[in-house]
Amino acid sequence: MDNLGNWRHICVDAQRMFSEDTPWHVPWMSRVLPQLQDLSERHAARTIFTRFIPPSRPDEAVGSWHDYYRKWWMMTGEHLPQELLGLAPSLQALVPPARTFDKVTYSPWVDGRLFLMLRRMGVDTVVITGGETDVCVLATVLGAIDLGFRVLMLSDAVCSGADETHDAAVDLLGERFSVQLKLHKTEEFLSAVPV
C-alpha cells in the first residue's frame, strides 16, 4: 500500500437505527461491526463517525426529501426514539477522541463543513467504511472524489440491506473510479498502517 499521507477514517452512519429493529434495519451491520470496531479503536483520533439525522417532522424537509419523509414518517424525530440516532454502543465508547459529524442528506459534503474541517487539518486521504454501500457510502465516496481526496474504501467494512446493489456499487466504484479510489480489505489496511 502506498504512503497514505494525512488520512482520516470516515465511518458512515453506523447508528443504532440501522443496527437495531427499525424499518431501516440493515442486517449486515452486525457482520461489519467487528471491522468498524477494530479500525476505529486502533485509530480513534483519526475517526469521524457520520450520523444521518432525519427532521422532526416530514413538513420540515425540503423538496423531494418532503416526499421521502412522508413515506418514512415513523423515522422522523417526533416518532423515532432519539437514542436510536446514536452510534452502535461499542463505537460510541470511542467518542472522544473519535468525533461525530451530523448530516441531513446522504452525503456529508453538501454544506461544506466536513470539507473545510478536513482541509484545515491538511487531510488528503479518506478511508471509508459503514453503511449503506449503495446509498450513503456511495454518496460519501463520490463526494470525496469530486473534492479531490484520495479515497480508500474497505470492501469488507461496508454493508447494505440489498446484496445485489451492494455488489453493484462495489463493482462500479472499483472499476470506474480505479484511478481515484482503491478497494482494500480491513486487515490488509490495518497491517500496512502503524498505530
Mind listing the pLDDT tens digit for each residue in 31-74? Answer: 999 999 999 999 999 999 999 999 999 999 999 999 999 999 99
Mean pLDDT of 129-145: 96
pLDDT at 1: 62
Mean pLDDT of 64-91: 97
Are 8 and 127 in contact, with CB atoms under 8 Å apart? Answer: yes
In 10 A of CB 172, how many CB atoms? 15
pLDDT at 70: 96
φ/ψ of residue 156, rounded to 5:
-100, 10
pTM for the complete prediction?
Answer: 0.95
* H or E element in which residue 167 lies: helix 163-176
pLDDT surpasses 80 at 126: yes
* 4 against 11, higher pLDDT: 11
pLDDT surpasses 80 at 165: yes
pLDDT surpasses 90 at 157: yes
pLDDT at 63: 95
pLDDT at 5: 85
Percent of the chain with pLDDT over 70: 99
What gap in Å lies between CA 37 and CA 116, rounded to an integer? 26
pLDDT at 3: 77
Please give the mean pLDDT across all residues of the chain. Answer: 95
Burial, 3: exposed, middle or buried (Cβ in 10 Å; 0-12, 13-18, 19+)?
exposed
Q: Considering the domain 7-192 in this protein, what is its CATH number?
A: 3.40.50.850
pLDDT surpasses 90 at 128: yes
Are 27 and 80 in contact, with CB atoms under 8 Å apart? Answer: no
pLDDT surpasses 90 at 29: yes
Residue 43 DSSP label: T
